[in-house]
Amino acid sequence: MLCYAVSLGLISYDQAYEIQRRIHARRLRREVPDVVLLLEHYPVVTIGKSGSIENLLVSLEDLRRAHVSLFFTDRGGDVTYHGPGQLVFYPILDLREHGKDLRMYVYRLEEVFIETLKDFSIDAKRHDSHRGVFVDSRQIVAIGIAIKRWITMHGAAFNVKIDPGAFSIINPCGLKGLEAASLEGVLGRPVQIDSVKGRILRHFSSLFRLSIEEKSLSEVL
């Protein structure tokens, strides 16, 4: 099966959400094949459907002063932080063509990043009770998804270059004391985000049995 991969660069959360929404509608009408968006967000805290503002550890005024946006969103999960240096991966897939199995979808999505981290000789694992990918006890990939009429939205956020200290303003995923990790921090050397994209797409293609074709946004909308 074919999947279009679209790189959006650095983009605000609300802009990316609107793009997802439009592609979701086109996928539902079968006007496009599966699509995956790769991007970075400007600093933003997002709170999912099961989230609580109590997991924001600073005031709204503090957020404004730090130029961090706040967005209540329709993905699953609690609170997370996005910012430059974090590679965000939004698959918009028709699960009717991928087994209609939500748990398997999340498992495969996590596996994409576990395999990608293996490419860097990093032994990453799932958590027994929380979605995402972890190095030791620190979260390096957060997972938060939505499914509407079997079409997926949202996805994964991979900490590549982002300073894990940026997550100190929240309880990540609503979990007190959860620490974040970054690929650069674990490796102890600089990593370019573009060098990671190809590895992720290769594992995504293999695990979801998709043929990846890179497209511009205008070709997908």
SS3 of residue 202 by DSSP: helix
Sign of CA dihedral 27, 132, 73, 200: negative
The 3-state DSSP class for residue 62 equals helix
Q: What percent of the chain has pLDDT over 70?
A: 98
22-43 residue pLDDT tens: 999 999 999 999 999 999 999 9
Weakest mean pLDDT among 58-67, 82-91, 104-113, 149-158: 58-67
pLDDT of residue 174: 67
Q: What is the mean pLDDT of residues 169-196?
A: 87
Domains of the chain and CATH, by start: 2-220 (3.30.930.10)
Residue type, 75: R
User: Which residues does the annotation mark as catalytic?
Assistant: 173
Count the Cβ atoms, other than its own, within 10 Å of residue 106: 18
CA dist 12 → 44, 68, 74 (Å): 8, 11, 16
* More confident of the two residues 189 and 54: 189
CA distances from 74 to 77, 78, 152, 206 (A): 9, 10, 12, 28
Angle at alpha carbon of residue 208, lines to 50 and 118, rounded to 5°: 85
